[in-house]
Amino acid sequence: MRAGRKEGGMGGGEHKFCWFSWLSDVGMEHYASKFEKNMLGEQDVVHMNHDLLKSMGIHVAKERIKVLDRQTKHLQEKTKRSNSMLKKVVKKIQEHQQASIVRRVERSGVDECKLLDWAKANWLLCDRTRLVEEAYLRPSAPSQRTSILTDDNRTESDQEVLRSTKDILWAVLFGTEKTNVHLTRVARELLCLTVPSYKAYAFNFFRAVTELGASGTWRYPDNVSNDHNASNILLQVEFGETESNLIGDVIMVCTHLINLLEVNEQVLYARCISVEQSTLFTHLYFQRSSYRHKIVCILFSTPNPGIFTGQSSPRASLSARDGGLP
């Protein structure tokens, strides 16, 4: 196969590209010499249009369309490769960030007393004016509902608060005794967090999360912030709540702080809702023979157990018998 050598042209620099092979995909390989003669390379594919192809001597419209079809396919393949590489890079960053959080959580440990102390110490910071006045956030930081905040917009103290906030949020959502998180979880809840698509990477430390594309139509009461057809990502995480509902309160503080210190929205919408039934929930019980045995006993020894009806739920029945969720 013949290869074209590029020593200039639109892309600049020397580059080899096999136009014969590239054009043969659409049966236009007989034009390979024209591309070589014009010293074009792969980087010039993006510039192709009817006028350029005409100037090269491809006068038949149907043939130009075939070449442009090949251009479209080429650019799609290139985008796909780039996206694949980007996903791998993002995945490595996520894994590194999650591993760092896990190490810090394991070292410090988390229980209800520590959570309560952390919430008391940090909830007062859930105010942008206060963050600026107390030198956590730089006065030059972009206004809310604009660009995401970076390290340049935060002081060292602010970065430490953001780091600890993400550690705490990870601990309450995903932490177990294996990661030195000791919380008695007695109920299942679902965190629903709506984030602008281009800012969703602020929560890339989440694991076991469901991501859904969503078009926002929410309107702020004072008309300050409107999401008319905004491109959003809905993040959903199922987690275990304590009897005191402390985890839900801590999640709200964490969400406010992450918004003020990084996401930078006028309003970052988050809510926690009770999960009455869930295949994820029941799977945890059916995995264990002791729980499976108890469920079978309840189902077949009680005339009207209501375990899978509206009268009661496995969460209520089993938590009462076994002292809490796993």
Kindly state whether residue 95 falls inside one of the protein's structural domains: no
Across the range 77-105, mean pLDDT stands at: 79
- pLDDT value of residue 204: 85
Helix (H) or strand (E) holding 171: helix 156-174
- On whether both 44 and 162 belong to a single domain, the answer is no
- On whether both 167 and 254 belong to a single domain, the answer is yes
- On whether both 265 and 151 belong to a single domain, the answer is yes
Kindly state whether residue 98 falls inside one of the protein's structural domains: no
Kindly state whether residue 88 falls inside one of the protein's structural domains: no
Question: For the segment 170-190, what is each residue's pLDDT rounded down to a tens digit?
Answer: 999 999 999 999 999 999 899
Cα–Cα distance measured from residue 162 to residue 167, given in angstroms and rounded to the nearest whole number? 9
- pLDDT value of residue 304: 46
- On whether both 124 and 233 belong to a single domain, the answer is yes
Q: Compare 321 and 154 and report the one with higher pLDDT.
A: 154
Kindly state whether residue 84 falls inside one of the protein's structural domains: no
| Domain coverage including residue 9 | 4-79
| CA angle, residues 127, 222, 228, in degrees to nearest 5 | 100
Question: For the segment 251-269, what is each residue's pLDDT rounded down to a tens digit?
Answer: 999 999 999 999 999 888 8
- On whether both 67 and 42 belong to a single domain, the answer is yes
- On whether both 35 and 122 belong to a single domain, the answer is no
Report the predicted TM-score, pTM, of the whole model to 2 decimal places: 0.60
Q: Pick from 258, 274, 290: which residue ends a domain?
A: 274
Question: For the segment 17-59, what is each residue's pLDDT rounded down to a tens digit?
Answer: 899 999 999 999 999 999 999 999 999 999 999 999 999 999 9
Average pLDDT in the chain: 78
- On whether both 263 and 122 belong to a single domain, the answer is yes
- On whether both 265 and 299 belong to a single domain, the answer is no
Cα–Cα distance measured from residue 268 to residue 270, given in angstroms and rounded to the nearest whole number? 6
Residue 171, Cβ neighbours under 10 Å: how many? Answer: 29
Kindly state whether residue 19 falls inside one of the protein's structural domains: yes
Kindly state whether residue 209 falls inside one of the protein's structural domains: yes
Question: For the segment 136-165, what is each residue's pLDDT rounded down to a tens digit?
Answer: 889 888 888 778 898 888 888 888 999 999
- On whether both 259 and 295 belong to a single domain, the answer is no
Residue 11 clears pLDDT 50, i.e. is over it: no
- On whether both 236 and 118 belong to a single domain, the answer is yes
- On whether both 113 and 246 belong to a single domain, the answer is yes
- On whether both 120 and 153 belong to a single domain, the answer is yes
| CA angle, residues 108, 161, 126, in degrees to nearest 5 | 125
User: What domain count does the chain have?
Assistant: 3
- pLDDT value of residue 84: 75
Question: Helix or strand or coil: residue 211?
Answer: strand
Yes or no: say if 132 and 139 are a contact pair by the CB < 8 Å rule: yes
Best mean pLDDT range from 231-240, 247-256, 299-308: 247-256
**130: domain CATH number?**
3.30.70.120
Rg (CA), the chain: 28
Kindly state whether residue 100 falls inside one of the protein's structural domains: no
Q: Compare 325 and 33 and report the one with higher pLDDT.
A: 33
